[in-house]
Amino acid sequence: MGEENKVILHGMWASPFSKRVELALKFKGIPFEYVEENLKNKRPELLQLNPVHKEIPVLVHNGKPIAESLVILEYIDETWMNSPRLLPQDPYKRARVRFWTSFVQQQLIETLLTVFETDGETQEKGVRDMLEKLQVLEEGIKEFFPDGNPCIDSNNIGLLDLVFSSVFSHYEIQEEVLGIKIINIEKIPLVCSWLTALNQLTLVKESIPPHDKLAAIFKFVREDALKSSSA
Amino acid sequence: MAEVKLLATWPSPFYYRVVWALKSKGIAYEFIEEDLANKSPLLLQYNPVHKKIPVLIHGGKPICESMIILEYIEEIWPKNSLLPNDPYEKAVARFWIKFADDKSPEIWRVFRSVGEEQEKAAKDSLEMLKTIEEHALGEKKFFGGDKIGMVGIAFGQLAQWLQVIEDVTGVKLLEASEFPRLQRWINNFKQVPVINENLPDYDQMFAFFKGRRQMLLASK
């Protein structure tokens, strides 16, 4: 690949923030080089690319770095305007997509982390919050699937789909490690059909890391968090 | 043009973000004051998920979350642009907008707490200011340019509310000598007519937040 238009994604295999950018690039058919970063031992190059947060993902396009996954996704959509369009054209609809994306990003991910990194009463409260928020999401996504039937394909997949999938497509592994049911088809049937539709897409299926590897890292993160909170 | 209404409360810095954006583009709007202690049916209808202000209501349709409102305003009324045209520069702007949103709450933690918690919040606030000083503000007059834009508006809390927090709590965060770029930006920002003419009265703000802090401390 020539220097012109060269795209490099610095990511981490288990990070949902990294995953959603990978998926966006793949769905849009944008060729890119992937660099796996070691977050326990960050390379000087990563610190140079993202000096403010020193985190992944970082997208480098034409030698210029962009950090923050949602910022990267909007950049991708504005730079490569082929299908799938990640955001609708209409400004009001765009605001709605951004609103619910922000809800998943801020509310759901934060609560999921609480459930993962705590136990006892704190975790129980986290689980209750999680279920409540998923109920809110269930109501919220009705405006995107007015006929109650999410039909997602590689031409219409969007920002909210990618963000939600990156966090929840592997929910079964999360539930297994936690020993807690989070995605309950009776309580959130529309969210479940949405997840099913997403998980049928080949690129999404291929993006989910192997079961044992993902389960192992989730267990490690949980144990590590519990240890340091009781230390 | 469809009606524009802004549901908000004084002296919320998020309300002022929207005011600055609307005024900089010459958009007329009706301000509807919300009482957060007694939330109106209007608020519950237009922002049922978060029940927070500001809410922009355009042609009867609600848009929530201040920075999402600003992106909407920019797209509907592109005149007097608040974001760069170039996709890369726009991405850099959005990076800082996100930073402003994620980190600004630290100064409010200073406002709401005492003792050790306040010390930690002060430390985190200083980290934030340091990052802005070293990475966000180049040598240009405003973030990324000669005119104010969405990034400056996103950091607007630092231009007046920060000082109120410092004066009410007695915790000094922004020493001009340590943060010369930031101080210069604040001075420039406050002199821009659309900002200057749309800043809450300092004494009224001080009285309001002083009262709030007293209530918070009494309840601890």
Rounded-to-integer distance, Cα B98 and Cα B67, Å: 9
pLDDT value of position A1: 45
Q: How far is CA B150 from CA A167, B17, B96, in A?
A: 29, 9, 9
> CB–CB of B49 and A75 under 8 A?
no
- Which distant-in-sequence residues (6+ apart) come within 8 Å of A191 by Cβ? A134, A137, A138, A141, A183
A66 inside 8 A of chain B by CB: yes
Q: What ipTM is given for this predicted complex?
A: 0.95
Give the pLDDT of residue B74: 98
Contacts of B44 in chain A (CB under 8 A): none
Q: What is the pLDDT of residue B145?
A: 83
State which residues of chain A have pLDDT below 50: 1
Give the one of B63, B69, B94 whose C-beta lies nearest to A74's C-beta: B94
Confidence check: pLDDT of B142 > 90: no
Chain B residue with Cα closest to A67: B95
| CA A188 – CA A204 distance, rounded (Å) | 21
Which residues share a beta bridge with B76?
none
* pLDDT for the residue A231: 61
Kindly list the residues from chain A whose CB atom is less than 8 angstroms away from the CB atom of residue B87: 75, 78-79
The pLDDT of B58-77, averaged and rounded, is 98
List, for residues B199-212, the tens digit of each pLDDT value: 999 999 999 999 99
User: Does the distance separating the beta carbons of B90 and A140 come in below 8 Å?
Assistant: no
> How many angstroms from the chain centroid is the CA of residue B54?
11
Yes or no, beta carbons of A95 and B68 under 8 Å apart: yes
